[in-house]
């Protein structure tokens, strides 16, 4: 499945908005140029979608997102009205200056009719709904389910990243399960933007762990899978004071990367899910458990490491061959770190002999 660039994604959204404006012009003003409806729709709809996608006014969106549901809906509607009214006025002024519209009172050009607002709101709500369902399922899962790609099991190569919160049990025992769940919710929210930026997909949350995956070619391109985990770690470090203030500590993560062939299939009847089966998934989980033993926050299998052109900002330390639980043979293990990060010498001597 070919990567869709952010520019292509926004181009499709813009075209969708333009087509909705053309449709409105054809239905409501058959004698007018459809270009006018397209321009109005783009100016009114694209900024609203950008706001929903946290491209415009991100801090404002985060504030209203924390509100109770009814208050959030009310605030969102007010913001939608303001943004669409501003877009309608700007589009009208622009087309008036370009001579695309016949001279008429400015009020008729700049003040959005109520029926236009309702139509634009319905179109934007539909697009936002589709985008949110896609975010909920993951872009790849959403697309794959639409085209029934995995209705029959498929053998493919994928990269898996397992991320686990260290010391989650002691935290829950000290602060209670409710506060521990709030910590996990905030932590998993931190994963979202780096995963999206580096074209990955969050497959599942299991307890205090998250499973992130890429098709092999996409994951190793530009070392996306490596950049993703270190951006997550850097973000947590940047927000260290916020974590301490809210939860009394900064989350410590353990992470492991591995890749290989797996079987991908759509399963379930009432609840559909795209699931991954095979030794690659199990090995990644076992590799993550080695982080504690080897005293390393990020590990990668030697097999996957050999396929990635490592950026200069990162370094790998060879930890040798290790036996992993449930696997009949040893696996080469590398420690990943930011270049310049000091590695305790004793961690490089921890070798588990093969049985």
Residues of the chain with pLDDT > 90: what percent?
36
- Containing structural domain, residue 332: 152-349
Q: What is the CATH number of the domain that holds 242?
A: 3.30.70.1230
User: Do the domain assignments include residue 103?
Assistant: yes
Top pLDDT among 225 and 339 is at 225
CA atoms within 13 Å, Cβ hemisphere of 157 = 11
Query: What pLDDT is stored for residue 4 in this prediction?
Result: 64
Query: What pLDDT is stored for residue 326 in this prediction?
Result: 62
Same domain, 171 and 120: no
- What's the average model confidence in pLDDT over 300-308? 95
- The count of domains in the chain is 2
Q: What share of the chain is helix, strand, coil (3-state, %, to 5)?
A: 55, 20, 25
User: Do the domain assignments include residue 321?
Assistant: yes
| Per-residue pLDDT at 342 exceeds 60 | no
Query: What pLDDT is stored for residue 346 in this prediction?
Result: 42
Query: Phi/psi at 211 (nearest 5 deg)?
Result: -115, 120
User: Do the domain assignments include residue 147?
Assistant: no
Same domain, 50 and 186: no
| Per-residue pLDDT at 244 exceeds 60 | yes
b/e 238-261 (16+ beta carbons within 10 angstroms → b): ebeeebeeebeeebebbbbbbbbe
Same domain, 22 and 133: yes
Lowest mean pLDDT among 94-103, 104-113, 174-183, 297-306: 104-113
Q: What is the pTM of this model?
A: 0.69
Q: Which of 202, 215, 226 is nearest to 157 (CA)?
A: 215
Query: What pLDDT is stored for residue 64 in this prediction?
Result: 83
Query: What pLDDT is stored for residue 330 in this prediction?
Result: 85
Residues of the chain with pLDDT > 70: what percent?
85
Burial class (CB in 10 A: 0-12, 13-18, 19+), 309: exposed
Distance between CA atoms of 55 and 51, rounded to whole angstroms?
6
User: Do the domain assignments include residue 354?
Assistant: no
| Residue given tokens 């209670």 in the structure block | 176
Same domain, 99 and 177: no
Q: Which residues pair with 201 in a beta bridge?
A: 213
User: Do the domain assignments include residue 146?
Assistant: no
- Residue 318: pLDDT band by 50, 70, 90 thresholds? very high
User: Do the domain assignments include residue 145?
Assistant: no
Top pLDDT among 120 and 2 is at 120
- What's the average model confidence in pLDDT over 218-240? 94
Mean pLDDT for the chain overall: 83
Number of H helices, E strands in the chain: 14, 8
| Residue given tokens 């949350």 in the structure block | 205
Q: Which two tokens stand for residue 170?
A: 């002691």
Q: Which residues contact 249 (CB under 8 A, 6 or more apart)?
A: 171, 243
Burial class (CB in 10 A: 0-12, 13-18, 19+), 341: exposed
pLDDT in tens, 139-198: 666 776 676 777 788 899 999 999 999 988 888 888 888 989 999 999 998 998 899 889
Q: Which residues pair with 337 in a beta bridge?
A: 315
Strand pairing report for 253-267 and 154-165? antiparallel
Count other Cβ atoms within 10 Å, centred on residue 1.
12
């Amino acid at each position: 499945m070919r990567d869709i660039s952010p520019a292509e994604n926004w181009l499709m959204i813009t075209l969708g908005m333009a087509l909705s404006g053309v449709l409105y012009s054809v239905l409501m003003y058959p004698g007018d140029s459809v270009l006018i409806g397209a321009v109005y729709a783009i100016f009114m709809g694209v900024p609203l979608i950008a706001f929903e996608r946290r491209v415009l006014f991100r801090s404002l969106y985060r504030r209203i997102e924390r509100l109770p549901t009814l208050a959030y809906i009310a605030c969102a509607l007010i913001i939608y009205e303001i943004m669409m009214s501003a877009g309608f006025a700007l589009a009208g002024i622009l087309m008036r200056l370009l001579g695309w519209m016949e001279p008429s009172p400015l009020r008729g050009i700049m003040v959005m009719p109520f029926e236009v607002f309702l139509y634009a709101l319905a179109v934007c709500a539909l697009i936002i709904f589709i985008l949110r369902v896609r975010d909920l399922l993951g872009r790849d899962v959403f697309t794959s389910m639409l085209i029934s790609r995995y209705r029959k099991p498929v053998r493919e190569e994928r990269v898996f990243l397992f991320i686990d919160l260290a010391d989650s049990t002691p935290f829950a025992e000290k602060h209670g399960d409710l506060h521990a769940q709030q910590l996990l919710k905030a932590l998993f929210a931190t994963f979202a933007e780096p995963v999206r930026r580096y074209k990955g997909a969050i497959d599942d949350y299991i307890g205090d762990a998250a499973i992130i995956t890429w098709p092999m070619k996409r994951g190793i391109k530009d070392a996306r899978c490596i950049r993703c985990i270190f951006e997550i770690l850097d973000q947590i470090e940047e927000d260290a004071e916020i974590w301490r203030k809210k939860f009394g500590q900064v989350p410590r993560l353990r992470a492991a990367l591995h890749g290989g062939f797996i079987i991908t299939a759509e399963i379930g009847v009432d609840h559909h899910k795209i699931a991954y089966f095979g030794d690659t998934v199990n090995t990644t989980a076992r590799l993550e458990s080695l982080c504690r033993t080897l005293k390393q926050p990020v590990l990668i299998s030697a097999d996957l490491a050999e396929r990635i052109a490592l950026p200069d900002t990162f370094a790998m330390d060879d930890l040798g061959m290790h036996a992993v639980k449930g696997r009949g043979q040893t696996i080469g293990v590398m420690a990943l770190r930011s270049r310049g990060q000091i590695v305790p010498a004793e961690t490089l001597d921890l070798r588990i002999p093969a049985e």
